[in-house]
Structure 1
Amino acid sequence: MNDVNENQQPEQPEDGQPRRAIRSFVMRAGRMTEGQQRGVEKGWPLFGLSLAGGLLDLDQVFGRQAPRTLEIGFGMGHSLLEMAQAAPEQDFIGIEVHRPGVGALLNGVLNAGLENVRVYDCDAIEVLNQAIPDGSLDRLLLFFPDPWHKKKHNKRRIVQPAFAELVRRKLRIGGVLHMATDWEHYAEQMLEVMSVAPGYRNQAADGTFIPRPDERPITKFEKRGERLGHGVWDLKFERID
């Protein structure tokens, strides 16, 4: 699952030493397979991006003008790889802090001979703030983010009013924020936040959720949710202002 939550400022304790900020992710360790290690070693120099590079010139990064999609928290990269293969005329940027997932995606990109994928391995909020130009994205994808299902942890969820506004700035007019979750309570919060967020229009005809779009691959989390008897909720909100 994509471990993303709301970015917050560091606290200042009495000793004057700032504590680390709460990030939009939880760093997850894991052993690297041979393929994942190959992805990092051979793929990162070709397709990896760094915050040190500052604000991107996306036409320069990809060497062309094309529709651009950014996915926050791509996990092991299966969905992003599938989407990139299915739409070679489009460009994709993925953000994921789980190193094996980064390696898995890059290995897949190398094996498929793709040129339309770039990757960040750091905090998504920092990427949006520091690297993505305003009005440059056609889609932003947030599939199955960490639900932080305990009520006391709900504030850690990434979908908050400040996030909605940040995403709105990065989308072009007509661009779409597409979210999906298998946690009903989180789906309801997403709908509540986005329904009052300025500058958006819900693409659902009834103002709630949409059927799963064909362009969203079925993830392992969706399959897991089905086994557990969970529903899956998709939301699409279009930037109109």
Structure 2
Amino acid sequence: MNATPSPTPGDTAPHQPPADAAGAPQGVPHPKTIKSFVKRAGRTTTGQAKAFADLGPRFLLPYAPQALDAPAAFGRSAPLILEIGFGMGEATAHIARVRPDENFLCCEVHEPGVGALLKRIGEQAIANIRILQHDAVEVLDHMLPEGTLDGVHIFFPDPWHKKKHNKRRLIQPPLVAKLVSRLKPGGYIHCATDWQPYAEQMLEVLTAEPLLANTATDAGLGGYAPKPEYRPLTKFENRGLRLGHGVWDLVFRRPA
């Protein structure tokens, strides 16, 4: 897929990731602080557990309320990309392989997902990923000073389908402002979703941020970007595309 089509009425079939996209329990009030995750059930496999034991000491970083020394953590100085919520790590591993000159700091709290990415790191000999098994919002607040990031990836965050739960969505003005403050001039935010109402909200929120500029210049795409070559199609996307569902990428940049 070379370009992502603009949303069309009725094209609202949701992405179907694991249980974190199932929606909130009835009657639970909207939290006062943004969280980048939803706790979900899942079992760590034997292979994932072995990856934790063998590779965790090298690739897992401890959360600490102090600025991250990225060159020390990665063993080199390189552009730093933050990924928030990588699921089972399929896309993360692919992107790290095709962009070996960049460092990828990846936040995910779901233990089977962390184990799955560690397993991929070992199988594919990936060296430029480090994982923080912690809430990305707290990582932003306490470990990433302003002007330290070259990019941010947020792919298929929980869409919170029910209107009464929309306020739980991750892409909201306060978080976007926080992300922008951590970007270097020239840095970018890349979001992707396959839920049309969330795509529209993302576009609205990112467009309203005064320190960001939309990289999508083709008026025919309605403000949505062609899918960057580095982002692979996941199994969920491929299944959705076969069913005629849409996928929307948004790439905004902080002007240099």
Q: TM-score if structure 1 supplies the norm length?
A: 0.89
**Matched-pair contact (CA < 8 Å) for 2:65–2:142:** no
1:183 corresponds in structure 2 to 195
Structure 1 residues 165 and 22, CA gap change in structure 2 (3 angstroms): closer
Structure 1 range deviating more: 212-221 or 195-204:
212-221
DSSP 3-state at the match of 1:92 = strand
The gaps in structure 2 that reach 5 residues or longer are 1-16, 25-29
Kindly tell me the number of residue pairs found equivalent between the two proteins. Answer: 229
Question: Which of 216, 241, 254 pairs up with 1:226?
Answer: 241
Matched, 1:68 2:80: yes
Equivalent-residue separation in structure 2 for 1:221 and 1:73 (angstroms): 16
RMSD of aligned alpha carbons: 2.0
Contact 1:29 1:99 (C-alpha < 8 Å) held by counterparts: no
**Which residue does 2:11 correspond to in 1?**
none
% identical equivalent positions: 49
Once the two structures are overlaid, the 10-residue window that deviates more, 48-57 or 185-194, is 48-57
Equivalent-residue separation in structure 1 for 2:165 and 2:88 (angstroms): 25
Matched residue, 1:16 = none
Q: Which stretch of structure 1 is more off in the superposition, 180-189 or 32-41?
A: 32-41
Residue in 1 that maps onto 2:7: none
1:148-205 deviation digits (Å, cap 9, x = unpaired): 0100000000000001101101111010100000011100000011111120000000
- CA apart distance, 1:53: 5.9
The offset of 1:113, in angstroms, is: 2.4
* Residue among 12, 34, 56 paired with 2:68: 56
Amino acid in structure 2 at the alignment position of 1:95:
C
**Equivalent residue, structure 1, for 2:114:** 102
User: Which residue in 1 is equivalent to 2:101?
Assistant: 89
By how many angstroms is 1:110 displaced?
A: 1.7
The corresponding residue for 1:211 is 226
Q: What is the distance in 1 between the residues matched to 2:76 and 2:145?
A: 16
Q: What residue is the counterpart of 1:17 in the other structure? A: none
Of the structure 1 ranges 209-218 and 26-35, higher mean CA displacement relative to structure 2 is found in 26-35
Runs of 4+ in 1 over 4 A off after TM superposition: 2-5
Match of 1:146 in 2: 158
Q: Secondary structure at the match of 1:51?
A: coil
| Corresponding residue for residue 126 of structure 1 | 138
Q: With CA pairs under 8 Å and 6+ residues apart, which has the higher RCO, 1 or 2?
A: 2
Q: 2:207 aligns with which of 192, 195, 207?
A: 195
Structure 1: runs of 5+ lacking an equivalent: 10-20
Q: Map 1:14-53 to 2 at 5 A.
A: 23-52=35-64
What is the aligned partner in structure 1 of residue 8 from structure 2? none
In structure 2, which of residues 169, 176, 179 is the aligned counterpart of residue 157 of structure 1? 169
